[in-house]
Amino acid sequence: MGKTYPTIISGAAIGLILALSQPLYNLGILIFPGFILFFLALKLQGSPVNSGFLLGYSAGLAYFLINFKWHWTVYPLKDIGIENPYLGFFLVFSAWAIIAGVLALTWGISAGLWKKLDKKISWAALLIFPSVFTLLEYLRSFLIGWVWAGPGTPLGPNWTIGSIAYNLHESFLTLKFASWFGIYGLTFVIIFLGLLLFIFLEKRSYRKLLITALAIVIFIYLPALQGSPVATGLPCSAPCTEVAVIQTKIPNQVFFTPEEEISIFKNQLELIDEASKNFPQTKLIVFPEGGNFFKTLTLFRNTAGASQYFSGLFPHSALIVDNSKIATESKFQSKTIFLDSQKGVLDSYDKYLLAPMGEYAPLILKTLDRILGLNTPAIQEKQEYQTGTKPPEAIDGETAIKAGSLVCSDIFSPSLAKNLTATGAGLIISQSSFSFIEGASDLFEQDLAAAKFRAAENGRYLVKASNFGRSYIISDQGIVQKITPGIGWQILTGSVVLKDNQTLYNKTGDSPILLGSLAILTASLFLRKNEHD
């Protein structure tokens, strides 16, 4: 037991250093000294494999506890009908601890396998260690869906939140690298470089250490070699279109008074009218998740009146994208509707990757609540959302803009974004609402980092409309071109270039890096077996 505490403490300290490289703190460069210390601690642990697991698990636990600390912004859960602050604390703490504890397992298993496959951390580890970590990072993308399993979410490699690749989202060259090999290719490289620096340090090759460290710093901080963004209203050489993003600040409430409904609708009308009058060249208008503009408009005007309103906005066809909360007989739907201002509704998309707790109650939480005898109505009787029957696809309508939408948590799934371009989308739309965390920057910064990688991976411009968050336009290289200064009611306008090319990642996906990592791991296990024989 005496040797356990130093392992836990050192692991937690390393996890804290690695956590500071996360998007919220914008200290991505710390990912490398963090892993140097990780490998140093692993080398000093001695032989037992379980000590490697404990070190990795402690580091992962500290890392993911900080990554998911935005859970506490929803406390004390009065918005979902839980008035008892002690019960609210228990539920938030349980969700926070469970998810961090489960995701940390992959870090613990990685370190345990590292210890078993190469105790001395030889040159062979430069391929073995990144392969192990990359494969387990891919498996980790299934875990949130498995742990928070329920009737409301599909199981798949969708939940990449917390990926160490996102910590380098400010680097133009890492985003370029992602367009070739995705976040798992970048994960492989991060572990490779961290381990290379450690080996140089251990062997006292200080000159090589300094040169490699300097090259990494230059690689990360080299500015983007691209031209200025296309100015709003000015022509561009490539096929482009003018967009207007309607940013809202609608609070997270189950019910609204008539006065509140009118106030929200009035603000939306003012912003869309501003786009119509001041930016008449606009071809695309995007509302955030839960905008409910179409739905509310039909309450104040009949169908004919609504059609007349849309057709009068611009002298040309404009694509208007809104998301509404639709009530069915037993469940809700988060439905994105694509509407041509001159021709009417073109298509719709039902949100595919639902958010645990927010849009459905996971079975583990329901079971825990029932076992403890709490039987909380907000959990046991929660009216849940119904997941979409198919992943997001490009709209198939008579419009010059072929695009598709990722709604909120969809942005963390590389496969869902890739499906958009596979079905012909020349532009990615993202609709989010951060009202449940009241605009806290923790989750927003992670969301922004993921959006930059989705844009770069697919070589597509990305337009984000947010409720209670900031909205932005990201280029096909993953560079933020325009962003709103705050989280209030406002309009963001700009130009986006419509693309039809394919990146290397579009063509190959994650298969090459995952199959390569699997081959390296299999070979290392085979060689180890032969050594024992």
Query: Under DSSP, is residue 257 helix (H, G, I), strand (E, B) or coil?
Result: coil
Q: For the residues of 348-362, what is the DSSP string, one character each? A: EEE-SSPPBTTTB--
Order of strands across the sheet that contains 472-474: 403-407, 427-433, 462-467, 472-474, 480-483
Tell me, what's the pLDDT at 110?
96
Relative to beta strand 319-327, strand 427-433 is: unpaired
Calpha distance 109→112 (Å, rounded) = 5
The answer to whether 270 and 280 are in contact (CB under 8 A) is no
Q: For the residues of 176-243, what is the DSSP string, one character each? A: HHHHHHHHHHHHHHHHHHHHHHHHHHHTT-HHHHHHHHHHHHHHHHPPP---PPPPTTS--SSSEEEE
State yes or no: pLDDT of 227 exceeds 60.
no
**How far is C-alpha 423 from the geometric centre of its chain's CA atoms?**
21
The answer to whether 489 and 247 are in contact (CB under 8 A) is yes
Calpha distance 282→321 (Å, rounded) = 13
Cα 121 to Cα 125, 126, 298, 518, distances in angstroms? 6, 8, 66, 19
Residue range 501-524, pLDDT digits in tens: 999 999 999 999 999 999 999 988
Query: Under DSSP, is residue 311 helix (H, G, I), strand (E, B) or coil?
Result: helix
Structure-model confidence comparison of residues 358 and 258, the more confident one: 258
Tell me, what's the pLDDT at 395?
87
* Per-residue tokens: 11: 């692991």
Region class of 26: left (phi > 0), else alpha (psi between -120 and 50), else beta: left
**How far is C-alpha 365 from the geometric centre of its chain's CA atoms?**
23
Tell me, what's the pLDDT at 1?
47
Residue range 22-64, pLDDT digits in tens: 999 989 999 999 999 999 999 988 666 688 999 999 999 999 9
Hunting for tokens 């029957």 — which residue is that? 389
Structure-model confidence comparison of residues 434 and 304, the more confident one: 434
Tell me, what's the pLDDT at 77?
75
How many other CB atoms are there within 10 angstroms of residue 304's CB atom? 8
Q: What is the mean pLDDT of residues 232-239?
A: 59
Contacts of 350 (CB under 8 A, 6+ apart): 333, 334, 335, 336, 386, 387, 388, 389
Q: What is the mean pLDDT of residues 375-379?
A: 75
> What residue type is assigned to position 196 of the chain?
L
Tell me, what's the pLDDT at 531?
57
Calpha distance 394→422 (Å, rounded) = 9
Residue range 139-177, pLDDT digits in tens: 999 999 999 888 767 888 999 999 999 999 999 999 999
Report field, pTM of the whole predicted structure over 0.85: yes
Residue range 303-353, pLDDT digits in tens: 677 888 898 999 888 999 999 988 877 788 899 999 999 888 999 999 999
The answer to whether 314 and 278 are in contact (CB under 8 A) is no
Q: What is the mean pLDDT of residues 227-249?
A: 72
State yes or no: pLDDT of 226 exceeds 60.
no
Burial class (CB in 10 A: 0-12, 13-18, 19+), 256: middle
Q: What is the mean pLDDT of residues 491-499?
A: 93
Tell me, what's the pLDDT at 225?
57
Find the helix packing angle between 172-202 and 511-532, rounded to 10°. Answer: 20
